[in-house]
Each structure stands twice: as structure tokens, then as C-alpha cells.
A and B are shown apart, each in its own frame.
Chain A
Amino acid sequence: MAALVASDVSFTHAGNVAPTLRGISIRAEAGGVLCLLGPNGSGKTTLLRCLVGLQGGGAGIEIDGRPLSSFSEGERARRIAYVPQHGAAVFPYTLADIAVLGRTPHLGSFTVPSPDDWRIALDSLGRLGIGHLANHPFNLSSGGERQLALIARAIAQDAATIVLDEPTASLDFANQTRILDIIAGLATQGRTLVFSTHDPDHALAAATQAVLLKHGLVLAQGDVAHVVNDLTLSALYDVPVRLVSLGAGDDGFGPMTVCFPVRRSSRLGKSHNLREN
């Protein structure tokens, strides 16, 4: 069953002539991980923001078979959570202050988070391994810690679907892997995840399904194993791409597939160097 469906979603940013999204139709299966894959400027962020109703007024979007626009703000936020790419707090909010914001759709009108809500927020931070940083200021934290705090906020929000905008962008190698593991882990707990990235390796590592987005159009979509291949990736990025499958290793980890962009200098038969070009 599809947890989140977009049917023929188009969007043009105010002041732009060219549309950013041109009739996109996608579906995210319940309990799956859907990856939006595409180069910078392909419309990934706009599509994600349309999916959660931050843009486009929810037109063409359905959650659990109901139109997004038929939900109240609170109802919507209890079903779908959004993790923005850049959380930026001006004032010295702590990571716990950020995480407890996720409890907002569960509060009664005119009330503030109860001790139980704070406990849930701290639990969420703890589950991501940053419980000890609960009182650390968000705006002095590293990019990885901020990303984790924003994911903790989404977990505290307790929504069945979590949408993450480039969760691995501007993170270092170890933190990228960490975030991908967390995404896969959240899906095994029954949540539906949708995330965007420009790195095909991240789709291969964490996603069950992929949507390849280019110039606001869907190039291909379906199971990662079928959709993410040499041909589609080469067309998506306008660079020759080669996928390599690695067998199970001695380190106890199973087989995996990785992808490489092919540099012109590595072509055989011609001695390439920069001076010849």
C-alpha cells in the first residue's frame, strides 16, 4: 500500500518562467525507503516541500489515500514529518529545545510541552546517540549533530512518514554513513521514509525504491535494483557511470553495489592527459 502518493504535481516558483516540477507522479510504499535522486537543481527540494504541503498547497498529494489539503495543520503534522536541509536557529536553543518542537502537533491548544513530551524528545535524541548533547546549543553544534537533532525532532513528532531533504549533504564521510543507517533503521520500525540526495551510492545503500529526477521530470522510477543502473545514471548526470557489485566481505558485511563516475582520462586506447585536451 502506498503511504504517500503524488499525482501530476507541477510547480513554478514565483517570479520564474520555467516550471521547477512538470507533472510529477510518484508513490512511496508504506514501510519502504524512497530516494529522490538527481543532480543539483533538478527540483528535489521543491518536490519534497510539495509532498509535505510546504509548497503548492498540497495539490495532487495524498497521504494514506486522503488528499493532503483535507487535513488540518495539526492532523497533517501527526502523519508526516519533515527534516529540512539546513536547520538554523538564531537564538541559543539547545538540541533538546529543537527536538521537543516535534511534540507541537500533539499539544492541546494554548499549552506547552509536558514533562512527558520532554521525555520523548530526550529519548529521541538518545536513540540517535546524542542524548549527552541535549543541553548543547544547536547553533554551536556540528553539521552532523544538527542533522541528528532535526531527525530526532521528526522521531519525536511520531509521524508514520518522514521526509528528509538532502540529509547527507555537507556531512563528512562517517556522518553520511551514520545518517543512512538511521534512515534504514527507521524503515525497519515500520515508518515510511522519503529522502533526497545527489549521490547514487546513498540510494544504493539505504533505499528500496528510487525516483530519478532531472529538470523537473521523472526520468525513471521503481525498485532501486532495477532503476539505478549504468544507463539511467549516465543519462541522469550526463557523465558516464559504472556500477560495481562487491561480494560479501571478510568483515561480516553482505554484498553491496557502488557506483563511480567514469573520468575521460581513464578511457583505454587513448593516452589521455590534460595537455592533449
Chain B
Amino acid sequence: MTLPANVRGYFELLSGLAIGGNGAATMITSHEESRGRKRSRRQPLWPLYLVLFMLLLSAVVLAFVTGRYPVPPLIALRIFLYPVTGGEADWTATAETVVWEIRLPRIAGALLVGASLAAAGTTYQCIFRNPLVSPAILGASQGAAFGASLALLLRLSWSGVMGMAMASGILATSATALIGRHLGSGSMITLVLAGLVVAAVFNALVAVVQYIADPLDVLPSITFWLMGSLNRIGNDDLGIIGVPIALMLAQLYAFRWHINVLGADNDAARALGVNAALVSGVAIAGATVLTALAVSVSGIVGWVGLVVPHIARFLVGPNFDRLLPISALTGGLFLLAMDTLARSVATQELPLGVVTSLVGAPFFAIVLGRARRHWF
């Protein structure tokens, strides 16, 4: 929707020039003139939300009926509604287990992880005013992966894995931000390079963990989890990550306008009444915790946090207040679609991280090609 607005802007520019060659000489136009040109400021978003929700619903239905064990859509729906409606259960116990214990947590997990990564990527891009960054590029994912794999090595509990992932992710993001600031903020590439350095260090640390892990039980689980996968998520995990993810998304949403001000004009934000240090702290911490939560259940699922913010910005423009919810919805939809693809494209399931890379990387190349002239 950005595009039509911009195109209209160009037409108005042209018509404005055509109306009066001496238009530039008018210093202060009267109120009446500007009022005559006024139109409703922002296009309503409900049609877009409607489309996204319908796509989401179709993706969820598709995901429920896709898989090795066939469950017809109607049966899946009836199994799903059985606790509410009651009635006769004319399906196998296996079908019930598949719907409730396998597909439901996986679908909900895909939505939560996708929304978290996309929201985190959108926030990072806005706060750092850099369209090239994402949780993975800033090293937050690798940092969280190191913390989580260390916790797995030490056989810590679930909360230990998440806590370590968060602590290590925040450490990595802070390191990237500090190195980026030290190198100077003249170029967008600086922060990307700083993230590269930090990610390399944490990748090496993950390799150390893998090297000393027990090759019989801990190592395979770390390795498979690192590739990015949702197939270990159970209903109990959802409860554990669902609440903090909702809290973090709410926190980012509460600060959406001040984050937008920082994204639009970092330098003058304080002169606009924004507590820049507080807001960037809240935003970066929120995005990093979301990343760590996603990584602790799904490993490193790359590209979602880089590509989805660009799709969302294409749909609703750069203002963070509209971008955040659209980005989170699109991220959930994107990851659910990718996971369903990963489960169904071959006889054996592909790791989710591999699929998102295969789809996301070429997509980002196209995005870069289209937008290059504005960014570099």
C-alpha cells in the first residue's frame, strides 16, 4: 500500500508543478488552500487484516490435514471441537493424538516462533535504522543458541535453557551494538559487520559445546535443534513460551510510537520528547528476549526476521505502529507455511531452518535489488 501512496505523491507533485510555475514563490499558503487538499490521512488497515486472517485460517487448516497420518479436514475440526460440542467420537485414538498432541503444538509453535522472530527483526531494523539487520545478522540468534546449547549440555531444566538463551542473546546483541558504535555509525554495513564478528564468536562457542557433548544423546539433540526445527515442541512448551512472548509483544506494542520516532529521526528524537535511552533499551531488550524464546524452542530458524519485516513494510509503510502487528501476523503465517512445506515436500521431513533459508535468501536478494538505491 506504500506504493500506490507514493505513486499518488508523484502525480500530485507533477500536477502541483503544472498548476503554477511560480508556486515556489508562495511562502506561506493559506489554511483554506491546504484544507481543500486534505484527504483521510491513513488508509484503513482492516481489509489487510481480513486477508491476513483468512490466509492464516487456511494455512492452519492445511497444516492440520497435512502429514504422514491422514486426517480429513472435517474429522480434524470435529476432534478439535469435541471438548466443546461433545457427541459421538467416531475416529481412531491415533487421529486424536495426532491432532491434539502433534499437530496442534506444532502449528501454534510455528505461529509463535514466526511472530516472535518477525517482530524482533522489525524492531531491530527500526531501532538501528537499518534495513539489513535481523536477529541472526546481529548475532542475537547465535548468542541465544550458545546459551541454550550450553544449558542442554549441562542438562538444565526448560527454564534453565530459556534463561541461558536470553542471557547469552542479550550479551551478544549488546556486544554487536557496542562494537558497531565503536566502529562508527557512518554506514549501515558497520553494524552488519559487527554482527558478523559476534555471530562468528558465538558459532565457535557452540562448536566447542558440540565438541565436548556426549555423542550418544546430547550431541544429536543439539545438532538437530541447531538446524532449526519445530518437531520437539509439545503442548507444555507452548505454555512456557506463550506467556512471555505475549508479554514482550505487548511491551513493544505499548512503546510502538516512541520506537517509531526513534526509527524516523534518531538524532532529534529527544528534542521530540522521547526518552531515547529508555525506549531503545526497552525495544532492544524486548526484541532480544523474543529471539531467545524462539531460539530456545526451535533452534536457529534464519531469514524470517530479515525477510518478513520487508514484506510488512511493503504492505503498510515504514511506521512502526502499523508495522509491528502486521509483521507479527505475517511472520506467523510465513513460518507456518514454511513448516508445512518442510513436512510435506519430501518423504522425510526437512529441517525448517533449511527451508526458510532456501526460500528467504533468494527473496531477500530480490528485495535488495529493488531497494538498493535508497539504502546505500
Contacts from A to B (Cβ < 8 Å): 52-54, 73-74, 76-78, 80-82, 84, 87, 89-94, 96-98, 101-102, 104-105, 107, 110-113, 115, 118-119, 122-123, 125-129, 131-137, 139-140, 157, 174-175, 178, 181-182, 185
> Are A52 and B41 interface neighbours, CB within 8 A?
no
CB-defined contacts of A89 to chain B, threshold 8 Å: 264-265, 318
Kindly identify, within residues 1 to 53 of chain B, every residue whose CB is under 8 Å from any CB belonging to chain A. 2, 5-6, 8-10, 12-13, 15-16, 23-29, 31, 33-35, 37-38, 41-42
- CA distance in complex: A111, B38 (Å): 23
Question: A97-B319, A101-B264, A131-B33 are known contacts. Are A77 and B6 too (CB-CB below 8 A)?
Answer: no
Question: Could you say which residues of chain A place their CB within 8 Å of the CB of B275?
Answer: 73
Q: Would A126 and B33 count as touching, CB distance under 8 A? A: yes
CA distance A92 to B10 in the complex (A): 14
Cross-chain contact B27 with A118 (CB below 8 angstroms): no
Residue of A78, A126, A178, A182 with most partner-chain B CB within 10 A: A126
Residues of A within 8 A of B35 (CB): 123, 126
Q: Is the interface of B mostly helix, strand, loop or mixed?
A: helix
The 5 closest A-B pairs by CB, nearest first: A126-B34, A77-B273, A105-B273, A91-B318, A82-B271
**Would A82 and B268 be within 8 Å (CB), given that A91-B318, A127-B29, A135-B8 are in contact?**
yes
**Alpha-carbon gap, A145 to B24, bound state (A):** 11
CB-based contact A92/B374 at 8 Å: yes
Find chain A residues with CB under 8 A from B256 CB: 112
B37, B254, B271: which contacts A131 (Cβ < 8 A)? B37
A-B residue pair count with CB separations less than 8 angstroms: 154
B265 is contacted by which of A80, A101, A127, A128 (Cβ under 8 Å)? A101
Contact A129 B29 (CB under 8 A): yes
CB-defined A-B contacts under 8 Å, sample of 12: A54-B267, A82-B268, A89-B318, A94-B5, A98-B264, A105-B273, A111-B257, A118-B41, A126-B29, A126-B35, A127-B29, A136-B13
B321 within 8 A of A: yes
Contact B129 A78 (CB under 8 A): no
Verify A73–B23 contact, CB threshold 8 A: no
Q: Contacts A122-B41, A126-B35; is A90 near B29 (CB within 8 Å)?
A: no
Contact of A54 among B37, B271, B313, B374 (CB under 8 A): B271
B37 touches A139 (CB 8 A): no
- State which of B131, B270, B274 has its C-beta within 8 Å of the C-beta of A90: B131
- B272 with A128: CB separation less than 8 A: no
Q: How far is the CA of A113 from the CA of B319 in the complex (A)?
A: 12
- Within the assembled complex, what's the spacing in Å between the Cα atoms of A223 and B111? 66
Q: Determine if A77 and B272 form an interchain contact, defined as CB atoms under 8 angstroms apart.
A: yes
Which of the residues B33, B42, B254 comes within 8 Å of A110, measured between beta carbons? Answer: B254
Residues of the B chain whose Cβ atoms lie less than 8 Å from the Cβ of A185: 27-28
Knowing A98-B264, A110-B254, the reply to whether A104 touches B272 (Cβ < 8 A) is yes
B313 neighbours in A (Cβ, 8 Å): 91
Let me know if A182 and B264 touch, CB within 8 A: no
B residues less than 8 Å from A53 (CB atoms): 270-271
Closest beta carbon of chain A to B41's beta carbon, Å: 4
Given A93-B264, A113-B257, A81 and B12 contact (CB-CB distance below 8 Å): no
Prevailing SS type, chain A contact patch: helix
Chain A positions within 8 Å of B24 at CB level: 174-175, 178
- Asked whether, in the complex, the Cβ of A133 is within 8 Å of the Cβ of B27, the reply is no
Tell me the nearest residue of chain B to A124, going by C-beta. Answer: B34
CB–CB A96/B37 < 8 A: no
- Chain A residue numbers with a CB within 8 Å of B255 are 110
Given contacts A92-B374, A127-B28, A139-B374, contact A132 B13 (CB under 8 A): yes
Q: B67: which A residues are within 8 A, CB to CB? A: none
Q: How far is the CA of A80 from the CA of B273 in the complex (A)?
A: 10
Cα–Cα, bound, A129→B23 (Å): 8
| Nearest chain B CB to A155 CB, angstrom units | 10
**Which residues from chain B sit less than 8 Å from chain A, CB to CB?**
2, 5-6, 8-10, 12-13, 15-16, 23-29, 31, 33-35, 37-38, 41-42, 126, 129-131, 188, 254-258, 261, 263-265, 267-268, 270-275, 313, 317-319, 321, 374-375
How distant is the Cα of A269 from the Cα of B265 in the complex, in angstroms?
55
B272 CB contact (under 8 Å) in A93, A102, A125:
A102
Residues from chain A with a CB closer than 8 A to the CB of B257 are 104, 107, 110-113
Least Cβ–Cβ distance between A125 and chain B, in angstroms: 7
Chain A residues closer than 8 Å to B13, beta-carbon distance: 132-133, 136
CA distance A110 to B31 in the complex (A): 31
Chain B residues near A54 (CB, 8 Å)? 267-268, 270-271
| A238 to B321 alpha-carbon distance, docked (Å) | 51
In the assembly, what is the distance between CA of A53 and CA of B275, in Å?
Answer: 12
The residue of chain B having its C-beta at the shortest distance from the C-beta of A139 within the complex is B374
Q: Which residues of B contact A125 (CB under 8 A)?
A: 34
Q: Could you tell me the distance between the alpha carbons of A181 and B323 in the complex, rounded to whole angstroms? A: 38
B6 touches A97 (CB 8 A): no
**Chain B residues, Cβ within 8 Å of A123:** 31, 34-35
Q: Among A73, A111, A118, A157, find the residue whose CB has the most chain B CB atoms closer than 10 A.
A: A73
Using Cβ atoms and an 8 Å threshold, which residues of chain B touch A93? 264, 317-319
Given contacts A92-B6, A101-B264, is CB(A132)–CB(B272) below 8 Å?
A: no
Cβ-defined contact, A127 with B31, below 8 A: yes
B contact residues around A110 at 8 Å (CB): 254-255, 257
- Cα–Cα distance between A89 and B267 once the two chains are bound (Å): 11
Contact B41–A96 (Cβ < 8 Å): yes
Closest to A135 in B: B9
Q: Is the CB of B274 within 8 A of A73?
A: yes
Contact B12 A135 (CB under 8 A): yes
